A = this chain, B = another copy of it.
Amino acid sequence: MAKMNLLQAINNALIIAMEQNNKTVVLGEDVGHFGGVFRATSNLQQQFGKARCFNTPLTEQGIIGFANGLAAQGHVPVAEIQFADYIFPAFDQIVNEAAKFRYRSGGQFDCGNLTIRTPYGGGIAGGLYHSQSPEAFFAHIPGMKVVVPRNPYQAKGLLLASIRDANPVLFMEPKRLYRASVGEVPEEDYELPLGKAEVLSEGSDISLLAWGAQMAVMQQAAELASKQGVSCELIDLRSILPWDVTTVSDSVIKTGRLLISHEAPLTGGFASEIAATIQQRCFLHLESPISRVCGLDTPYPLAHEKEYMPDHLKVFEGIMRSVEF
């Protein structure tokens, strides 16, 4: 065990992945000598050479297109998109190519080796273009997996699993926690399962569901609620696609209530899919409507960032509205 922050855990996972499989290649803007603007790829070029860790020209569609080809060829690309806000030029190479490569070729070719790492989320005074949480766009793409860790331990185990998973994975890193989240992380190689949620704490009155940086907010809200005598069951979804319907519905059957929270705008956010599915599966168990506490239906503002965010107070209010329904 060693104390690591989230960035160090990611860096550590990348080193292990590159040591363990010499087909692993890290690419992206500024990831080479410099080690990335957040330093997640520090020392990789120095340790593994320029051929296996390199700066690309400044073109996200090129990065993912190139990585798709590299993956189809049999290498294991780990591509960095500098901010999730800048992933959209690569959207076609993700939706139409990476995700459909295997299906369209009947399994003859695939981009399963591809992993895309990208920092997402707000709370860093980043405004419109350094704060977005675009997971819902990718959750509507059959063929993709989408994974979000909440702390260093998860980050390492889920990233290693993502790199080795036989499907293209979008790995979204909560950048607000890069340095803020510190924890004990095993130094050896380990994986955490994709597609499995984690129940952080059991409760009986309401299930709270979120992922990534939002988990800390949920924890705060749950504490406020517990002071009001409300017992919350806290679930970290961890994988957005495919998501762990069993853990969530088991919990809702037990508690009778569900609140989902994410930073992304409410309309068309991933909470809608969860709510739609759970109201269907747990209809007779629901004691109040499934509640969504999410970002507003606006671009991500700068000056009003605090007001935009689904903070612990808004979540707490949501919890109380749900239990008092």
Contact = CB atoms under 8 A, between A and B. Distances in A.
A91 interface: yes
A296 to B, nearest CB: 8
Contact of A297 (B85, B142, B290): B142
A139 interface: yes
A275 B289 CA distance: 11
A142 B265 contact: yes
A204 interface: no
Contact of A137 (B128, B140, B299): B140
Contacts of A268: 136, 139-141, 241, 270, 273
A118 to B, nearest CB: 14
Given A137-B140, A142-B298, A95 B104 contact: no
A228 interface: no
Contact size class for A?
35 or more
A289 B275 CA distance: 11
A280 interface: yes
Nearest to A89: B92
Given A142-B298, A272-B272, A275-B280, 19 more contacts: A88-B96, A89-B92, A91-B92, A100-B299, A103-B298, A103-B299, A136-B268, A140-B265, A140-B268, A142-B299, A267-B273, A268-B273, A273-B276, A275-B279, A279-B289, A280-B291, A281-B289, A283-B286, A283-B288
21 contacts: A61-B89, A88-B96, A89-B91, A103-B299, A136-B140, A137-B137, A139-B268, A140-B264, A142-B298, A143-B299, A241-B267, A268-B270, A272-B272, A275-B279, A275-B280, A276-B292, A279-B289, A279-B290, A280-B290, A283-B286, A283-B289
